[in-house]
Structure 1
Amino acid sequence: MGYKAKTGVLAIIAAILIVLFLFIDLSGNWDYALPRRIKKVLAIMLTGGAIAFATTVFQTITNNRILTPSILGLDSLYMLIQTFVIFIFGSATLTMMNSNVNFVISVGLMILFSGVLYKLLFKREQQNIYFLLLIGLIFGTLFQSLSSFMQVLIDPNEFQIVQDKMFASFNHINTDLLVIASISVFIVSVYFSRLTKYLDVLALGREQAINLGVDYDYVVRRLLIVVAILISISTALVGPITFLGLLVVNVTYEFLKTYQHKYLILGSIFISIIALVGGQLIVERVFTFSTTLSVIINFIGGVYFIYLLLRENRSW
């Protein structure tokens, strides 16, 4: 089976799971239950698509299949923002704050941080992309340490509010946020469409891309901005899911066996939707909400990450 047919199969499986999720055990008041499920599915599709999209692009830029955009420290920055608001103003402020305001502030600060980081690091010519990742990792550790420090000091009852923000949740999605996030992702996707043609060449490496006529720094800078915006939106919408991108993108590479990014991006989005919708079905029908989807995804993704490290170590 070719990669085109495999992409079609993934799309069909994703569609079947979405239909199952929407209509399984749907009884009682459809006017109440169905819109809530539709909203949840839309949030899953948007989040899964954005993370898979961003991770595929990020791994192409870095030429490394064990890295994810979370290494830039955006997840840690999101938690620092939420913890800081509760630490300074109390949980009542976060609860009473308009969700749109919280979303815009969180996304805005994450994008601002990414923009400043890129501006400073790409100011110098011939700057290695791995230096950017190292700085991102350092800042991520710093943000995580500051968050932990404030979490130790706050009231235990308020810590529970912070703890809820640590794990992605699709159970209480604000429709207004969904609209804002969808419009933002659409705009970013339109902007990205003019850069798609460079991805297959960038996968060959920096030197080869430059030899083939690609303005490497210009293209990579803009692709990193796209990655930062997508990850910021998905994180602010539902919360951090650290290993989802790593898991779905590597499964996509193994399943499709192609390096054409138009198929890799579509395939990773479909696999991400399959993983999230299928995982949410298991959380609701098997575990009866006794755990969260992000815990399952991060556990499986963490195990897979260790497998990838061991496999790379053997190949060396």
Structure 2
Amino acid sequence: MAEVALWRMKGRRRAPLDRRLLVLAGLLIGAAASFISWGLPWSDGAPSAYILQLRATKLAGLICVGTAIGLATVLFQTLSNNRILTPSIMGFDALFLLMQSVLVMMFGLASMAQLSGFAGFLLNAGVMMVAALVLFTGLLRRTRGDIQLMILVGVVIAVLLRTLAVFLQRLMDPSAFAVVQTRMFAQFGSIDRGALLAAAGVTLLATLWLLRRAALLDVAALGRDQARSLGVRYDRLQMQLLCIIAALVSVSTALVGPIAFLGLLVTSLAHSLMQSHRHALLLPASALIAAIVLVAGQTLFERLLQLQSSLAIVIEFCGGLLFILLLMRGKLR
């Protein structure tokens, strides 16, 4: 009954769009315009169509990945009731690197080149999604919905996967290891258009589904017992959110590679900026901030500094420092 009441209240009274979200949207538009237009070569009085197309594809990939990671991290922190956890703790990045190592060991570099496009995206995303769903459903049933125990088991599995990946990399020849090493951090240089469309479709559907249920997410953040006492089907909602987290992290990782600490960085900024626990504000704020960080950072690296270093390395460094700072300050919730 309470769940129905929440839906009715949401339909009758909709809060106006927060000005801070409008500011973030404006910053993202400005960053996107700079990324597209800065240093764009012109030919015959018109911008180069080929360069413009490459930049547009990369821009769409940056926004898609940022949105997926921002949303997934907010949901995972809501379920775990912990502000320093991200979905990467469950071993998504470790599974991705293990898959790359296994593919190189079994099929060689030629097969890796063939699986670098849409086929590789489907394979990586499919395996990660299936593995995550098996882990979530199996552990939650055996632990009776204990999300904390599931996270602990996920940490152990992540360590095991990383150990196996390192072991396989020790057995590779230098050329094969160099190929796997390039997959250890997110790369935005060569994004397949078919894979981008698939990832964008999954991200868009997840975004619409979550925004329509923002009120239920606010109640779920109170905890299992409180949410169930208010009439929310918590177990069902929990499984739905875990499936969405698995889908978002899988498609973003399969599209560009692992980028673990981006979610922690942007959700912390979103909480500081919005000063609210309402998911109607946190979800879009986290998605916008993540997209701004990626687009503005890539613009800074490529256009202003003329560097070829990976943006993901800088983000991982800053996110790691923030993780240590949050631990020292005790801001876990």
Q: TM-score interval w.r.t. the shorter chain?
A: over 0.9
Structure 2 counterpart of 1:289, one-letter code: L
- Residue matched to 1:114: 132
2:35 equivalent among 15, 21, 40: 21
Residue 187 of structure 1: how far off its partner (Å)? 3.4
Contact 1:244 1:301 in 2 (8 A): yes
What's the C-alpha RMSD, in Å, of the aligned pairs? 1.8
Name the SS of the counterpart of 1:166 in structure 2. Answer: coil
- CA shift, 1:282, in A, is 1.7
Alignment of 1:127-276 (within 5 A): 127-192=145-210, 195-276=213-294
Structure 1 CA distance for aligned equivalents of residues 114 and 260 of structure 2: 28
Query: Does the residue aligned with 1:65 lie in a helix, a strand or coil?
Result: coil
1:194 Cα deviation (Å)?
5.4
- Report if aligned partners of 2:214, 2:278 keep a CA contact under 8 Å in 1: no
| Distance in structure 2 (CA, Å) of the matches to 1:256 and 1:195 | 19
CA distance in 2 between counterparts of 1:211 and 1:244 reads: 35
Q: Do the aligned residues in 2 keep the contact of 1:192 with 1:226 (CA within 8 Å)?
A: no
1:250 deviates by 0.9
Mean CA deviation greater in 200-209 or 61-70? 200-209
Provide the residue aligned with 2:295 in structure 1.
Answer: 277
CA 244–98 in structure 1, closer or farther in 2 if over 3 Å, else same: closer
Q: 1:269 to 1:194 in 2, by over 3 A?
A: closer
Match of 2:11 in 1: none
2:185–2:312 CA contact under 8 A, matched in 1: yes
In structure 2, relative to structure 1, the CA distance for the partners of 1:84 and 1:231 (3 Å cut) is same
Q: Which amino acid aligns with 1:25?
A: G
1:180 CA displacement: 1.6
Gaps of 5+ in 1: none
Return 5+ residue gaps in structure 2 as ranges.
Answer: 1-15
> How many angstroms apart in 2 are the aligned matches of 1:205 and 1:87?
45
Are 1:70 and 2:70 matched, yes or no?
Answer: no
Distance in 2 (CA, whole Å) between partners of 1:295 and 1:87 is 26
Which TM-score applies when normalising by structure 2? 0.90
- Rounded to whole Å, the distance in 1 between the matches of 2:161 and 2:267 is 26
Mapped contact 1:3–1:258 kept (Cα < 8 A): no
Is the 2:88–2:260 Cα contact (8 Å) retained in structure 1?
yes
1:139 offset after TM fit, Å?
A: 1.0
1:303 is aligned to: 321
The TM-score with structure 1 as length reference comes to 0.95
CA shift at 1:32, angstroms? 1.2
Kept in 2: contact 1:43–1:178 (CA 8 A): yes
Distance 1:190 1:10, change over 3 A: closer
Aligned counterpart, 2:106: 88
Matches of 2:105 and 2:307, distance apart in 1: 29
Q: 58-67 or 122-131: which moved more?
A: 122-131
Distance 1:96 1:126, change over 3 A: closer
Contact 2:211 2:280 in 1 (8 A): no
* 1:9 matched residue in structure 2: 23
1:49 corresponds to which of 67, 82, 91: 67
1:242 and 1:115 map into 2 onto residues whose CA distance is 19
40-49 vs 174-183, greater mean Cα deviation:
174-183
Q: Deviations over 1:186-229 (max 9, x none)?
A: 33344445543311011112221111111111110110110010
Contact preservation (8 Å) 1:51, 1:234: yes
Distance 1:233 1:261 in 2: 22
Q: How many residues are aligned here?
A: 314
Determine the C-alpha separation between the residues in 2 that align with 1:125 and 1:64. Answer: 19
Identity of aligned residues (%): 37
Distance 1:312 1:178 in 2: 38
Q: Deviations over 1:131-188 (max 9, x none)?
A: 1101111111111111100001101011111011111011111111111212222333
Distance 2:311 2:116 in 1: 25
**Cα deviations by residue, 1:266-297 (Å, 9 ceiling, x for unpaired):** 11111111100111012113442331110011
Distance apart, 1:125 and its partner CA: 6.2
